Amino acid sequence: MAISKKIREQITQGSWIRRMFEEGIALKKKHGVDKVFDLSLGNPILEPPPEFRTELLRLAQDETPGTHRYMPNGGFPETRAAVAAALAKETGAAFTAADVIMTCGAGGGMNVALKAILDPGDEVVVIAPYFPEYFFYIDNHGGVTKIASSDPDFLPDTDSLGRALTPRTRAVIVNSPNNPTGTVYPAERLAQIGQAIRRAESRFGTEIYVLSDEPYRKLLFTGAPFPFVLPHHARTVVVTSHSKDLGLAGERIGFLAANPADPGRAEFVEASTYANRTLGFVNAPAMAQRLVARIQDALVDVDAYRKKRDFLYGALSEIGYECVEPQGAFYMFPKSPMPDDRAFVALLQSKLVLVVPGTGFGSPGYFRLSYCVDDRTLEGSVKGFAEAFEEAKSR
Ligand SMILES: Cc1ncc(COP(=O)(O)O)c(C=O)c1O
């Protein structure tokens, strides 16, 4: 084979989610689609809000010459201004268009930011349980991933974070609401993260970014405002997308926003704009940029996700599963009733319920399920969860 050894290894060993996905396809072929309950994937199930279609139809009629041409690599000035205004309203921070770059989703944005700040061998700290793609994103730009741990309630352990910070640390990735746990990090913990980072900066004479990965920040069930990382560390970059809050995952539209409190942000934005171009994204899709500029206040029906959470959290708790109640996103991270999470996931699979072992998220002994599935799949999975729990107890 002519492909790189590293990529071959990453493809074969890298992704539990992908592995479960492939096993799911095989099981569905064997038993029939409606007999298999696949909770392994985080593909947003809710349709975009009605404002999306109205705007899309309007845009389709727009014959202004140049509408579909290249634009500045950071995006249309009017889209950046609309995003900055919405973010300023949400956060109270004085964002302007110059602080914002439109990106191909949060995944594209994270790659752009990492390319902008990493030299080969630089370190990026992620907090377990983590979104496994971070490893590949960091590796894409010559970085090295270091892992900090969480408390049993899945909030970052700030002592562990402090120990993970070294003279080579260039960034810490914070992901709240979290994939895979659904936990929302409270302001006090974010303040402690900021303090730990500043202690490391003054000890090592370095500058450390927080890359705040927030694609789930509007999928919140608490009723309380979202605790932003921004006030707790000046060198913070918001990385997000409209994949989940507008249900537009396939349209690849998101943005980066550098904290107005960061005096070095103009240089970061310049470097990220260059990275957006040279990574080959060139710019975020033009139609999607025009679209989201007009619907910044729209949102999918978050209550539908809350109802799904309530149903499954209630059903699993009743069976006896231990789980921290998710406060946002659309994932749950229950404790495996057997010490070996992979063995338990295999047992669940024998009941035709598909989830992902916690090992894949850096936290063995747990499993991740995604409840952004239709109600038939959710309801149908409960029997398998109950049977597997009983069998696990007797093993
Ligand atoms: C934590 C987290 N970050 C980033 C992404 C990337 O999302 P997108 O590139 O669609 O915005 C995802 C997608 O599942 C995610 O769960």
**Which residues have CB under 8 Å from 130's CB, separation 6+?**
147, 173, 175, 361, 362
Whether residue 234 is predicted with pLDDT greater than 90 in this model: the reply is yes
Q: What is the pLDDT of residue 14?
A: 64
Instruction: Look at residue 394 in the predicted model and tell me its pLDDT.
Output: 86
For 287-321, write each residue's pLDDT tens digit: 999 999 999 999 999 999 999 999 999 999 999 99
42 lines ligand 1 (CB under 6 A): yes
CA distance 86 to 102: 14
- Report the atom number in ligand 1 closest to the C-alpha of 254: 11
Give CA–CA dist 333/340, Å, rounded: 15
Mean pLDDT of 341-366: 96
State the average pLDDT over residues 349-357: 95
pLDDT level of residue 11 (50, 70, 90 thresholds): confident
Tokens 């996931």, residue located: 345
Q: How far is the CA of 107 from the centre of ligand 1 (A)?
A: 6
CATH 3.20.20.450 fits 50-294, yes or no: no
Q: Which two tokens stand for residue 16?
A: 């539990």
Q: What is the whole-number distance in angstroms between the Cα of residue 106 and the centre of ligand 1?
A: 6
Mean pLDDT, to the nearest integer, of 94-98?
Answer: 98
Confidence of residue 22 (pLDDT cuts 50, 70, 90): confident
Strand partners, 234: none
Quick one: what percent of the chain has pLDDT higher than 70? 99
Write down how long the chain is.
Answer: 395
The residue-averaged pLDDT of 53-70 equals 95
- Establish whether residue 106 lines the binding site of ligand 1, counting it when its CB lies within 6 angstroms of any ligand atom: yes
Ligand 1 near 179 CB (within 6 A) = yes
**What is the distance between the alpha carbons of residues 390 and 338, in angstroms, rounded to a whole number?**
11
Average pLDDT (124-139) is: 97
Pocket test for ligand 1, best of 241, 356, 361, 369 (most atoms within 8 A of CB): 241
Helices then strands (H, E): number in the chain?
13, 12
Q: Does 16 have pLDDT greater than 90? A: no
> Cβ(134)–Cβ(173) under 8 Å?
yes
Is the backbone peptide bond immediately before 48 cis, with ω within 30 degrees of 0? no
User: Which of 21, 130, 131, 178 gets mutated to test ligand 1 (max ligand atoms within 8 A of its CB)?
Assistant: 131
Residue of 161, 217, 155 whose CA lies nearest to 185:
155
CATH 3.90.1150.10, applies to 5-48+300-393: yes
Q: What is the pTM of this model?
A: 0.96
- pLDDT for 9 equals 85
Q: How far, in Å, from the CA of 244 to the mean position of ligand 1?
A: 9
44 lines ligand 1 (CB under 6 A): no
Q: What are the sequence ranges of the domains in the chain?
A: 5-48+300-393, 50-294
Q: How far is the CA of 305 from the centre of ligand 1 (A)?
A: 17
Please write the tens of the pLDDT for every residue from 165-215: 999 999 999 999 999 999 999 999 999 999 999 999 999 999 999 999 999
Residue 106 Cα: closest atom of ligand 1: 11
Question: 113: pLDDT confidence band, cut at 50, 70 and 90?
Answer: very high
The pLDDT confidence band at residue 1, using thresholds 50, 70 and 90, is: low
Q: β-strand 209-213 against 169-175: which pairing, if any?
A: parallel
The whole-angstrom separation of Cα 315 and Cα 308 is 11
